[in-house]
Amino acid sequence: MASPSKDPDKTVSLRTERAKRAGAPETDGEPQPGYPATRLRRNRRADWSRRLVRENTLNIDDLIWPLFVIEGTNERQDVGTMPGVSRLSIDLAVEAAVEAASLGLPAIALFPHTDRALRDEAASQAFNPGNLVCRAVRAIKAEVPELGVICDVALDPYTSHGHDGLLVDDDVDNDRTLEALVTQALVQAEAGCDILAPSDMMDGRIGAIRSALEQNGFTQTQLLSYAAKYASAFYGPFRDAVGSSDQLRGDKKTYQMDPASGDEALREVALDVAEGADMVMVKPGLAYLDIVWRVKEAFKLPTFVYQTSGEYAMLVGAAERGWLDRDRVIMESLMACKRAGADAVFSYFAPEAARRLKDER
């Protein structure tokens, strides 16, 4: 029987080789101890230990609640493709805002369902200081001034053709749309909106809006750019909620991003940051978390993600059929966004998740 090697270098080499075969991770070129010295399950054994070593946390400060508003008083309309979500008249939206504040949510986001009679080719209702969104903003800020209010800057809730911009010969005209978006943004800022969120994906709109805000004294109004918004199939239920699904002529592929592209998202973000965006958004969420990760790693600035209506509908639909545990899948999906690098998540689950997080405290 051969005797053990007395050569210390050879002994270290043999130990290293065994560790590599065991799959041990390397640090600074040296493998760390593998099994049985390292048992990763030790840290998972008890709840208190899992909480101590948890790499990411989800809290109420990370959640933004999107709300759909409609005309009327004490009016609630269920959105058929989004079970549990309703369009709310302004008085009920104020009540929802009060609830959001009581839960500790930092902000809500408002989206209007515009009556067909008020929609036209020029999106003229978007520029009306007395439109539905502006009245909702004023009512909410009067009741809960400490709650952040985010407004969508895009023309699709107001156009008769369902596009985010103005059409010229059936094509969305970028530069004419910029002028319209600037007017819409100023109207919303005047109403008291805290964060303007351009979601249209027109080239140059962040710079145009930022310049207009500065020139008109709205120097503290924040800009959240939907910097990487993809031409996704996950938006269907949202379009139902705002009443544009059956009005859209064609598609939005000429201005929203191609789902096959990733590097282009970084170019979009870089341009919007240079133009004055305070924070950026990636939309949709779960299918695009690689983009969230890349944006956060590249720019180290506030990065939000929108858990879209389609994601919501999928999870709720599966939970209603008993295929998924609703409570667990909600929290897991939100945590996935955080793990990918998101600083905040737009989610229709926000109040439900907030209540659960409060209960867990």
Where along the chain do its domains lie? Answer: 60-360
Q: Is the pLDDT of residue 200 over 80?
A: yes
Give 140-186 pLDDT, tens digit per residue.
999 999 999 999 999 999 998 989 899 999 899 999 999 999 999 99
Active-site residue flag, 296: no
Per-residue pLDDT averaged across 316-326, rounded? 97
Q: What is the pLDDT of residue 12?
A: 47
More confident residue, 12 or 349: 349
Which one of the listed residues 141, 252, 283, 296 is annotated catalytic? 283
Buried b (16+ CB within 10 A) or exposed e, 197-214: bbbbbbeebbbbbbebbe
Could you tell me the pLDDT band of residue 118, with boundaries at 50, 70 and 90?
very high
Q: What is the pLDDT of residue 177?
A: 96
* Spatial contact of 124 and 160, defined as CB atoms under 8 Å apart: no
* Spatial contact of 242 and 162, defined as CB atoms under 8 Å apart: no
Q: Which CATH architecture has domain 60-360?
A: Alpha-Beta Barrel (3.20)
Q: Is the pLDDT of residue 340 over 90?
A: yes
Q: Is the pLDDT of residue 210 over 70?
A: yes
Which one of the listed residues 229, 252, 296, 338 is annotated catalytic? 229
Give 22-32 pLDDT, tens digit per residue.
555 665 666 67
Tokens 């690098």 -> residue: 341
3-state DSSP percent of the chain in helix, strand and coil, to 5: 45, 15, 35
Sign of CA dihedral 48, 52, 54, 60: positive
Q: List, in sequence order, the alpha helices (H) in the chain.
A: 8-21, 47-53, 90-103, 132-143, 174-191, 205-215, 236-242, 263-275, 289-299, 309-320, 326-339, 350-360
Q: Is the pLDDT of residue 246 over 80?
A: no
Active-site residue flag, 10: no
Residue from 151, 79, 104, 93 nearest 312 by CA? 79
Per-residue pLDDT averaged across 98-124, rounded? 95
Sign of CA dihedral 110, 115, 116, 122: negative
Confidence (pTM) = 0.90
Could you tell me the pLDDT band of residue 248, with boundaries at 50, 70 and 90?
confident
d(CA 283, CA 260): 14
